[in-house]
C-alpha cells in the first residue's frame, strides 16, 4: 500500500512566552510570576477541584545539553516500596501533566505541541493501515523499558495506542517503551508499524511551530489528547513535572 503523508493538524499557534491566548484546546498556559490567566481560559482548560482524584510525586528533570525529545505523552507504570508499603509514583492512566520551566537552556530547546486526536483522525484517511494498527492492535506499553527500570510491574501492560475510558474519553498513547506482546505471531508486523508511526511523527514535528517557555511558566496538558516534545539544546536545562489523575481517567 502506498503511504500518503499525514497532514500537519492546523491546530497550533505560535506561542511566545508572553502569550496567554491562541492556544489549542488540550492545554493551558500560565506565563509565570506576575502574570495571571483570564477566568475564561482557566474555566475552559483546567480540571476542576471536584474532578481531581490523585497527584503523583513531582520530579525535577535536568539535562546538560541534549538531543531532541520527540512527540510523546507522559505515561509510566511505576510502583516503589517505601518503608514496606507499595507507593505508586506513576500511573498509566495519568490524564493531565503540568510542566514548569525551572531553568532555560543556553540555546535551543524550543518546545512544540500537537493535538493527538486530530493526528489520529487524519491518519484514518491518509494512512488507513496505520490507523487500523493504532486502534486495533494490542501492544506491551512499557516492555522496552522493563530490563533497565526497576519498579515496573512484572506483568506486561497490554493496551492499544487508541482506547476509551469508562467515561467515554478517548486516550491516544505515544511512548518509546512500546514493544510487541511476548510471542505475538504478528510481532514482525507490529515492529514495522511502530517504525512507521515513529517516522510519521518525526515528519510531523518538522512543520510544527516552536515556542520557548519563560522560566517559571507552566504548561498544563491534557495527557490523553496532547503530545509534546522539544528540540535539542545546549547548556543546562531543568523542568519540574507533575502528573495527576481526574475522575475522567480510566
- Tally the domains of the chain: 1
CA distance 55 to 244: 4
9 within a domain of the structure (yes/no): no
CB 162 within 8 A of CB 170: yes
pLDDT over 70 percentage in the chain = 81
pLDDT score of 44:
45
7 within a domain of the structure (yes/no): no
Ranges 121-125, 217-221, 236-240: which has the least confidence: 217-221
219 within a domain of the structure (yes/no): yes
pLDDT score of 50:
78
Ranges 14-23, 58-67, 91-100, 122-131: which has the least confidence: 14-23
* Phi, psi (deg, nearest 5) at residue 124: -60, -35
Q: Residue 85 has which C-alpha cell?
A: 508499603
Q: At residue 84, does pLDDT exceed 90?
A: yes
pLDDT score of 8:
33
5 within a domain of the structure (yes/no): no
CB 142 within 8 A of CB 155: no
Ranges 10-24, 124-138, 148-162, 175-189: which has the least confidence: 10-24
pLDDT score of 13:
31
8 within a domain of the structure (yes/no): no
65 within a domain of the structure (yes/no): yes
20 within a domain of the structure (yes/no): no
Ranges 31-45, 153-167, 233-247: which has the least confidence: 31-45
64 within a domain of the structure (yes/no): yes
Q: What is the mean pLDDT of residues 57-84?
A: 93
**C-alpha dihedral sign at 192, 194, 197, 201:** negative
Average pLDDT over the chain reads 84
Ranges 150-159, 176-185, 205-214: which has the least confidence: 150-159
What domain range includes position 41? Answer: 27-246
pLDDT score of 90:
94
Distances in Å between the Cα of 156 and the Cα atoms of 60, 137, 148, 194, 250 are 27, 15, 15, 18, 18
| Cβ atoms < 10 Å from Cβ of 219 | 22
Q: What is the mean pLDDT of residues 96-119?
A: 94
More confident residue, 63 or 1: 63
CA distance 230 to 110: 5
pLDDT score of 153:
79
More confident residue, 151 or 45: 151
Q: At residue 202, does pLDDT exceed 90?
A: yes
What CATH number corresponds to the domain at position 86? 3.60.130.10
Q: What is the pTM of this model?
A: 0.81
CA distance 74 to 23: 20
Amino acid at each position: 500500500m502506498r503511504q500518503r503523508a499525514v497532514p500537519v493538524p492546523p491546530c497550533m499557534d505560535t506561542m511566545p512566552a508572553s502569550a496567554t491566548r491562541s492556544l489549542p484546546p488540550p492545554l493551558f498556559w500560565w506565563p509565570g510570576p506576575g502574570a495571571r490567566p483570564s477566568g475564561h481560559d482557566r474555566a475552559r482548560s483546567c480540571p476542576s477541584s471536584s474532578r481531581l482524584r490523585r497527584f503523583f510525586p513531582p520530579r525535577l528533570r535536568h539535562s546538560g545539553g541534549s538531543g531532541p525529545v520527540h512527540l510523546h505523552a507522559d505515561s509510566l507504570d511505576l510502583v516503589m516500596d517505601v518503608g514496606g508499603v507499595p507507593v505508586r509514583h506513576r500511573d498509566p492512566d495519568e490524564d493531565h501533566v503540568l510542566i514548569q520551566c525551572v531553568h532555560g537552556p543556553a540555546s535551543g530547546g524550543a518546545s512544540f505541541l500537537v493535538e493527538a486526536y486530530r493526528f489520529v483522525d487524519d491518519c484514518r484517511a491518509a494512512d488507513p493501515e496505520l490507523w487500523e494498527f493504532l486502534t486495533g492492535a494490542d501492544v506491551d506499553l512499557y516492555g522496552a523499558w522493563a530490563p533497565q527500570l526497576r519498579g515496573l510491574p512484572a506483568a506486561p501492560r497490554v493496551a492499544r495506542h487508541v482506547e476509551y475510558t469508562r467515561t467515554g474519553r478517548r486516550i491516544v498513547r505515544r511512548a518509546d517503551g512500546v514493544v510487541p506482546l511476548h510471542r505475538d505471531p504478528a510481532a514482525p508486523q507490529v515492529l514495522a508499524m511502530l517504525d512507521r508511526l515513529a517516522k510519521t511523527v518525526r515528519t510531523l514535528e518538522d512543520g510544527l511551530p516552536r515556542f520557548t517557555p519563560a522560566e517559571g511558566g507552566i504548561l498544563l496538558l491534557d495527557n490523553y489528547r496532547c503530545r509534546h516534545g522539544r528540540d535539542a539544546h545546549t547548556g543546562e536545562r531543568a523542568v519540574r513535572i507533575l502528573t495527576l489523575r481526574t475522575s475522567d481517567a480510566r
